[in-house]
Amino acid sequence: MWIHRAARHTATILITVLLGGLLGATLLRFAPGFGVDEQELDTRLSGATIQALRDSHAAERNVLVFYARYLSGLLRGDLGVSRSLQRPISELLSQRIPVTLRLVAFGLLAGWLLGLALALPGAISGKPAHDILPGFLSGALLSLPSALVAVLFVLIGGPGPLAIALVIAPKVYRYSRNLLAQTSAMPHVLAARAKGLSRLRILLWHVLPIAAPQIIALAGVSVSIAFGASIPIEVICDFPGIGQLAWQAALARDMPLLVNLTVLVTVVTLVANSASDLAVSPSSGRQ
């Protein structure tokens, strides 16, 4: 039975990804600036050279033909060549994906540690006073978009990956704080307190096991948040990752590269969101 579900899920993901790639290519094709090259402004170029430049975009003019060719290349493992960077796209991706992954992994780890560290003292002690400072900090950080956090980070000379941590931590804090507070108000926890168990023991044995699945579900979503935040941070802090590549590809109207990146982003988004959906659904009836 679960094979059925998994197969259906995979088929849906596949269709959505293919559609995403095609739509991305179409958006690019009909945006202004398609088919122009900065090199055209070079005054040395002869008329023949400029014409050759313009003709080099001919392969991309028909979106459907281009996409079909791209897909057939994809099946053979050939991702195409980036027009703006003049290199095979598979090489570009293999060089840049690890950079982004490292950035995101570090940011996620630090963000979760920070968020939980802020939430647990209040959960253990139960005193509202322990929540004022973390609450204000998290409110302040939530109000700053990730790009701004990155800029401020560069200003104080801190490491870029920490900026992602500061984007994740307040969300983790607020969510886990709310969740732990809700779980602590459950009847069996109250009973344990009435029986005189220590707060720490209650937290570890009675609260956390119940809250764990939902915290894990948040982990899935925080992955996609971290990826989203990594793009402006890479651009601002100059990390040679996927985010910076995507921005450059967009500005250069690099169709082969952009289609690949759209497909990649769609796959990551779908997988992350599907995973978090699957993680939540078994427990959704267990309010």
Residues 180-209 that bind another protein (CB under 8 A): none
How near is the Cβ of 196 to another protein at its closest, in Å?
A: 30
- Residue 10, interface with another protein (CB under 8 A)? no
Nearest to another protein of 197, 278 (CB atom): 278
C-beta atoms surrounding 180 within 10 Å: 23
- Residue 40, interface with another protein (CB under 8 A)? yes
Q: Which residues of 192-213 are buried (b: 16+ CB within 10 A; e: fewer)?
A: beeeeeeeeebbeebbeebbee
How much is the CA Rg of the chain, to the nearest whole Å? 24
116-145: which residues touch another protein (CB under 8 A)? 128, 135-136, 139-140, 142-145
Stretch that binds another protein, among 71-79, 110-118, 189-197, 269-277 (CB under 8 A): 269-277
Tokens for 115, please give them: 């968020």
Nearest to another protein of 157, 196 (CB atom): 157
Stretch that binds another protein, among 63-71, 185-193, 195-203, 245-253 (CB under 8 A): 245-253
Determine the 3-state secondary structure of 88 from DSSP: strand
- Residue 32, interface with another protein (CB under 8 A)? yes
Among 6, 11, 14, 23, binds another protein (CB under 8 A): 23
Dmax (CA) for the chain in angstroms is 89
47-106: which residues touch another protein (CB under 8 A)? 47-50, 52-53, 84-87, 91-92, 95-96
Tokens for 97, please give them: 């994906």
Helices (H) and strands (E) in the chain, counts: 12, 0
Cβ burial, residue 185 (10 Å; 0-12/13-18/19+): exposed
- Virtual torsion, Cα 66, 19, 23, 222, nearest 10 deg: -130
Among 5, 7, 10, 39, binds another protein (CB under 8 A): 39
Among 81, 113, 154, 208, binds another protein (CB under 8 A): 154
Stretch that binds another protein, among 68-76, 100-108, 195-203, 236-244 (CB under 8 A): 236-244
